Amino acid sequence: MTPDTNRRWLLASRPTGEPTREDFELEESDVSEPGPGEVLVRTRYLSVDPYMRGRMRDADSYADPWGIGEPMRARCVGEVVDSEYDGLETGDVVAGNLYWAEYATVDGDRVERVEVGDLPVSTALSVLGMPGRTAYVGTVDVGRVEPGDTVVVSAAAGAVGSVAGQIARIAGGRVVGITGADEKADWLTDELGFDAAVNYRTAGDLSAAVAEACPRGVDLYFENVGGEVSDAVTDHLTDYSRIAVCGKIALYNQEDGDVPRGPRRLHQRTRTRVEGFIVSDHAHRAEHITDRLRRWVSEEEVRYRETVTEGIESAPEAFLGLFEGTNVGKQLVRVA
Ligand SMILES: NC(=O)c1ccc[n+]([C@@H]2O[C@H](COP(=O)([O-])OP(=O)(O)OC[C@H]3O[C@@H](n4cnc5c(N)ncnc54)[C@H](OP(=O)(O)O)[C@@H]3O)[C@@H](O)[C@H]2O)c1
């Protein structure tokens, strides 16, 4: 049966600097019944991700900007509650690029069945989803991690970083995580098998703290943060080291003119390979990578956490928390 009302978040304004709750507007509207070829999906979980900050800005990027007054988009997991699409039935659990919304009526080919085996469906948005695949691509394909490498991961207790560090450990690396809270640092070393963790908020001289944690230097830096964290790691890169540039969240709330011109502090690192990547460019390998992650999770070689806020109302708070570090592991919103 089709429900009556839907609530969804719209982009109300383009933030300058840190986004605030006022940049989002919760709209109530009727639920549209699916037409031919369409499905109606009830969202169970929606994913909030740092890249969304870029889409709130009207600037050139690999992802198109969202328009003011347009619905916020998100990767979601949900349940088909009505289907006019051959191949999907009521009750099927699907994932797709949908909206910050309770319901979405979309073409059936915009969603696919969720394949997570015995794991919770939310993992299709976390360790078995885009963040897990990003961790794999950055560590294995771009970072080309080797046994014996010293690997530093920033935003190490987040969705991507926590998995990247564990993959580097499985590959035989010595893994050091950088994060912003002692509890997160303890999680990395005590539960995820990181060899050391540095709290960038309390370390004082961060470059010295990285040197202490990495006595043989840094062979691979999995870059999630940028700015001063990045500078502190760059100081200790070895000859023929690599930087896998996954993201630079510390810069996402800075306006263009304020973003430091870089790459900084690479003046004595002429043999370092710096390579950025976007996980969607590796979509052809998604199935292979997901299978590998599923096996590691089932063997408890890779552990994961999800931080979940409750209700569609909480989506902006969940998103804003990414820039404060309120999440451990993947930040999700449970909608239904
Ligand atoms: N290239 C790709 O295809 C791709 C795909 C997905 C994600 N990414 C990038 O990967 C990075 C991590 O994304 P995620 O989804 O896994 O997010 P996440 O790490 O789960 O959450 C963001 C974390 O960043 C840290 N952080 C926020 N502001 C910071 C600052 N100013 N300085 C230092 N640390 C800060 C916080 O942890 P602390 O408590 O430790 O500060 C926060 O928990 C982001 O840069 C994102 O853009 C790239």
pLDDT digits (tens, 9 = 90+) for 121-138: 999 999 999 999 999 999
What is the band of 264 on the pLDDT scale with cuts at 50, 70, 90? confident
> 257 pLDDT exceeds 90?
no
As a whole number of angstroms, the distance between CA 217 and CA 150 comes to 7
What percent of the chain has a predicted confidence (pLDDT) above 70?
99
Q: How far is CA 231 from CA 15, 141, 250, in A?
A: 27, 24, 12
d(CA 332, CA 329): 10
Question: Position 294: which residue type?
Answer: R
Alpha-carbon gap, residue 243 to 219, rounded angstroms = 8
CB neighbours of 270 closer than 8 A, spacing ≥ 6?
Answer: none
Query: How far is the C-alpha of 3 from the C-alpha of 131, rounded, in Å?
Result: 32
Nearest to 273 by CA among 232, 295, 245, 301: 245
Residue type, 301: E
Instruction: Name the closest-CA residue to atom 42, ligand 1.
Output: 325
Domain 130-282+291-296 part of CATH 3.40.50.720:
yes
> Would the pLDDT of 245 be above 90?
yes
DSSP codes, 125-159: GTTTSHHHHHHHIIIIIIT---TT-EEEEESTTBH
Region 294-305: mean pLDDT is 97
Contact 8, 46 (CB under 8 A): no
Residue 120: cis peptide before it, omega within 30 degrees of 0:
no
Q: Above 90 in pLDDT, residue 226?
A: yes
Atom of ligand 1 nearest to the CA of 247: 45
pTM metric for this prediction: 0.97
Residue 22 clears pLDDT 80, i.e. is over it: yes
Q: Where are the chain's structural domains?
A: 5-126+305-334, 130-282+291-296
Q: What is the best residue among 192, 210, 224, 305 to mutate for testing ligand 1's pocket, by most ligand atoms within 8 Å of CB?
A: 224
**Taking 90 as the threshold, does the pLDDT of residue 62 lie above it?**
no
Query: Which residues are near ligand 1 (CB < 6 Å)?
Result: 49-51, 131, 134, 155, 157-161, 179-181, 184, 224-225, 229, 246-250, 277-279, 322-323, 325, 327, 331
Q: What is the pLDDT of residues 139-160, one digit of tens each?
A: 999 999 999 999 999 999 999 9
* Per-residue confidence (pLDDT) for residue 210, from 0 to 100: 98
Q: Which atom of ligand 1 is nearest to the CA of 178?
A: 40
pLDDT more than 90, % of the chain: 91
pLDDT at 1: 60
pLDDT of residue 309: 98
CA 225–ligand 1 middle distance (angstroms): 6
**Domain 5-126+305-334 architecture:** Alpha-Beta Complex (3.90)
